[in-house]
Structures are given as structure tokens and as C-alpha cells.
Amino acid sequence: MDSHTAASEKSFISHAPGYWPDIEPDQWNDWKWQLKNRVTTLAQLDQHLRLSSEERAGVLLSGNKLALAVTPHFFNLIEPNNPDCPIRRQVIPRIEETWTSPYEMSDPCGEDSHMPIPGLVHRYPDRVLFLVTDRCASYCRYCTRSRVVSGAGEQELHTDFDEAFRYLEKHTEVRDVLFSGGDPLLFSDDKLEYLLSRARAIPHLEFLRIGSRVPIFLPQRITPALCTMLEKYHPLWMSVHVNHPRELTMEVREALIRLTHAGIPLGNQSVLLRGVNDEIQTMKNLVQKLLLCRVRPYYLYQLDLINGSAHLQVPVSHGIDIIDGLRGHTTGYAIPQYVIDAPGGGGKVPINPGYRLFHNDEKVVIRNYEGQIFEYPEIGVQANIKPTPKVDLDYFYS
């Protein structure tokens, strides 16, 4: 191992077994043990954390909106005496979740209004969101589907798989299916393969995706057997969800690299959260660490206007500043697209810093990351510009 690789490895730490010192490695590395031993009660939290009054009240009320559940692996990342811990803010309920503002909604992305059949969201012309389960390994307190996820919300998910696949067979304009939920990787290998194989049997479905936070909450689930099964269904992509660099432990890195060895391209979707990743340096550390895990930062989401999310909201102007602070200061591969999922079902809208300062038929005036100003001619608009001559391709291939 060279010195650069060794230095990079230092940022990946194993926290096992942490709060569970008496657990044997075989148990700890069993993903089913991790699920059975999730932290789900106030009494369990009190064993390890010094809860604030806001957290204690939030836990007592959590069953009315979104259940409390944290895998032992992820729980080990929580600082016991710091209520402002960025990991803690993501998974420990707070009383602020019960407060609502006039602009908040139970379905901020308008998924229910774009659901032709239960569990299948068809909002974009050529792709669908397939909600296959309402359960997750752990529950993010800002979940945009808290109305239906975990069994504690106001709605229940009733996806009929046969009906959903009949819809997909009929709608030949659909070429892209995203399996999500809840979290599809909670399914057994056999059940997940059933979904993938049925989708692959539909000729016009070109592109399959899985959206999952299991590699981060439950890296033990990413077994060699799972990866061997998944690689039978290429092209298959996966979107993972990491918000803070501390989430990228040694176990998570190994799980993510195992997926890439199976030929699965990985993209990360972060949510901009107050007190979690709303500082430029934190975001820079995150995106650079993701690349070391072979994960391309894909989206940075403005937090959806979900009920009870105001305490985690960050101003859009601040999100733009973060992207501006990354551009030019790290590789372009590390810079995610900052988006707002337009309230009510308008879809993802890219939000960028103001690099284009002026634009007419003659020129574009732009600035770079250092604030320097440049002009670029608007070539092809002026009448005196001649079209590019055709290229003789035979010259290149003869």
C-alpha cells in the first residue's frame, strides 16, 4: 500500500461492535441479526445516549408519524452526549417533527397524484418509480414518504406486483424503472430476483435502478451472494444515500466496492440538512470520500417540504453557496447537481450558481469559480456564419 492510499484509508473507520461489545463477529456481521436488534425504544436509547428534552418528547410521539428504528451499525456512529451530532439529527426523533408550517405537506412530491395504480408512480414520460415496500433498515426523520413508510404514518402502501407489471408491459413508452420504497434491499435475494427478472422479461424496459440506503444503514446485507444475483440483470444501477462523511465507515466502503465489482454503477443522493451537511467543508469531505468508495455524487436535494421538517431546512441560497464553494475546489466528478423537487409533483429542477451573467445573440458573459469574467461568442446565430462542412467518414475508417 503506497503512502497516498494509506492516508486515504485513515478516513475509513470501523465502529464495530461499539455499544454491543459482547456480540460475536459472526452475529455482528449477520444482516438479519442487525435487523432483529435495531434500537426502537426510549429505554434502549437511554442505555447509551443522554437525550435532550426535545429528543425525549420526540421519541414518545414518534409512533404517531414515523417509527423509530436504527440498526446497531448506524447507531454506533452517534455521539452519546451531543444532541447536535450530525448522525443523531438524522435518525433520533425530535419534538419539532410534530410542528407544522403552512407550506409543508404530507406528499410534497405529489407522488399520490401521479400514481395510476397503487405503488407505481409515473410522473416522467419514460420512467416510473416502483414502490415495492414500506419498510427500511432505519428511518430518516426527514423521510419524504413518512406518510406511508414504517407503518406509523397516515397511509398504507398496497402495491400489487402483478398489476404493476401488467401496467409496465402495456406502457411501451417506459424504458426506465426505479425500485424503491421503503428499501428494496430488505427483501430476500429470491424475492428481489423475482422483481428484477420480471422487469428484465419486458423488452422495452432498458434500464433498471435500485434506490437504497441499506449499504449505509446495513452494509452486512451486501453479501457476495446478493452481488452475484444482481449482476445477472445488467444494465442495473443503484442510487445510495449518504449525507455525512462519518457514515462512510470501513464496512460501508467494502459493501460499496463489492457492488462495483459486480458491475453496478453507484450514484449518491444527499439531502441538504441543517446541522448535518450544510457547511462547505463537510460537503467537500463527503463528496471526496464518496469517490474513494467508487460512488459518483449525483444529486444534492433541497429538503422536501415534508410535515415537521422546518428544523432541518436550509435556505436555498445557502445550498447554492455550497455548490459554488465546491466548483473549482475539487474535481468535477465530485460535484452533485443541486435540485429542488418542485412541490406538488413538478419533478426535479436543477438549481445552479449564477455562472452565466449575460446572454444575447452575440455573446455569453460568464464567470468562473474565482469570480473572473469572460466572454464567449454565440457562434452560429449570426447570419454570416457558414454551416460546418460534412465530414467524409470513409477517410477515417478506410
Q: Quick check: 136 and 95 in contact, CB under 8 A? A: no
Q: Is 143 a catalytic residue?
A: yes
Q: 390 in a domain, yes or no?
A: yes
CA trace torsion 155, 160, 166, 172 (10° rounding): 40
Between helix 316-326 and helix 280-292 the angle, nearest 10°, is 50
Q: How far apart are CA 270 and CA 241, in angstroms?
A: 6
Q: What is the CATH number of the domain that holds 216?
A: 3.20.20.70
**Distances from the Cα of 239 to the Cαs of 20, 56, 212, 267, in angstroms?**
30, 33, 6, 5
Domain edge (last residue) among 268, 287, 303: 268
Query: Which DSSP letter does residue 202 get?
Result: S
Q: How far apart are CA 100 and CA 45, in angstroms?
A: 26
Render each residue's pLDDT in the chain as its tens digit; 398 residues. 454 445 456 689 999 999 999 999 999 999 999 999 999 999 999 999 999 999 999 999 887 889 999 999 999 999 999 999 999 999 999 999 999 899 999 999 999 999 999 999 999 999 999 999 999 999 999 999 999 999 888 899 999 999 999 999 999 999 999 999 999 999 999 999 999 999 999 999 999 999 999 999 999 999 999 999 999 999 999 999 999 999 999 999 999 999 999 999 999 999 999 999 999 999 999 999 999 999 999 999 999 999 999 999 999 999 999 999 999 999 999 999 999 999 999 999 999 999 999 999 999 999 999 999 999 999 876 555 555 666 665 655 55
Q: Is 94 a catalytic residue?
A: no
Question: 3-state DSSP call for residue 235?
Answer: coil
CA trace torsion 273, 276, 280, 282 (10° rounding): -150
Q: Is 304 a catalytic residue?
A: yes
Between vectors from CA 24 to CA 18 and to CA 27, what angle results, nearest 5°?
Answer: 95
Q: Is 65 a catalytic residue?
A: no
Of 244, 311, 248, 315, which Cα lies nearest the Cα of 283?
A: 244
Q: 34 in a domain, yes or no?
A: yes
Q: Which of 134, 136, 289, 299 is catalytic?
A: 136
Which range marks the domain in which residue 246 is found? 9-268
Q: Is 227 a catalytic residue?
A: no
Q: Which of 56, 127, 294, 363 is catalytic?
A: 127
Domain edge (last residue) among 268, 289, 322: 268
Q: Is 327 a catalytic residue?
A: no
Q: 177 in a domain, yes or no?
A: yes
- Regarding whether 363 and 264 lie in a shared domain, the answer is no
**Distances from the Cα of 195 to the Cαs of 150, 162, 189, in angstroms?**
21, 10, 10
- Furthest CA-CA distance within the chain: 79
Q: How far apart are CA 50 and CA 48, in angstroms?
A: 7
**Count of structural domains, the chain:** 2
Q: 38 in a domain, yes or no?
A: yes
Q: 337 in a domain, yes or no?
A: no
- Regarding whether 252 and 398 lie in a shared domain, the answer is no
Q: What pLDDT does 284 receive?
A: 98
Q: Which of 124, 194, 355, 376 is catalytic?
A: 124
Q: Is 46 a catalytic residue?
A: no
- Regarding whether 263 and 375 lie in a shared domain, the answer is no
Residue 6: CB partners within 8 Å, gap ≥ 6? none
> What stretches of the chain show up as alpha helix (H) in DSSP?
3-9, 25-28, 31-36, 42-48, 53-61, 72-75, 88-91, 161-170, 189-200, 214-217, 224-230, 250-261, 280-292, 316-326, 393-397
Q: Is 26 a catalytic residue?
A: no
Q: How far apart are CA 248 and CA 257, in angstroms?
A: 12
- Regarding whether 218 and 367 lie in a shared domain, the answer is no
Q: How far apart are CA 335 and CA 283, in angstroms?
A: 10
Q: 227 in a domain, yes or no?
A: yes
Residue 3: CB partners within 8 Å, gap ≥ 6? none
Q: 36 in a domain, yes or no?
A: yes
Rg value, the chain, Cα: 23
Q: Quick check: 140 and 91 in contact, CB under 8 A? A: yes
Q: Is 123 a catalytic residue?
A: yes
Q: Quick check: 349 and 302 in contact, CB under 8 A? A: no
Q: 280 in a domain, yes or no?
A: no
The whole-model pTM stands at 0.93
Domain edge (last residue) among 237, 268, 299: 268
Exposed e or buried b per residue across 54-82, where buried means at least 16 C-beta atoms within 10 angstroms of its C-beta: bbbbbbeebeebbbbbbbbbbbbbbeeee
Q: Is 348 a catalytic residue?
A: yes
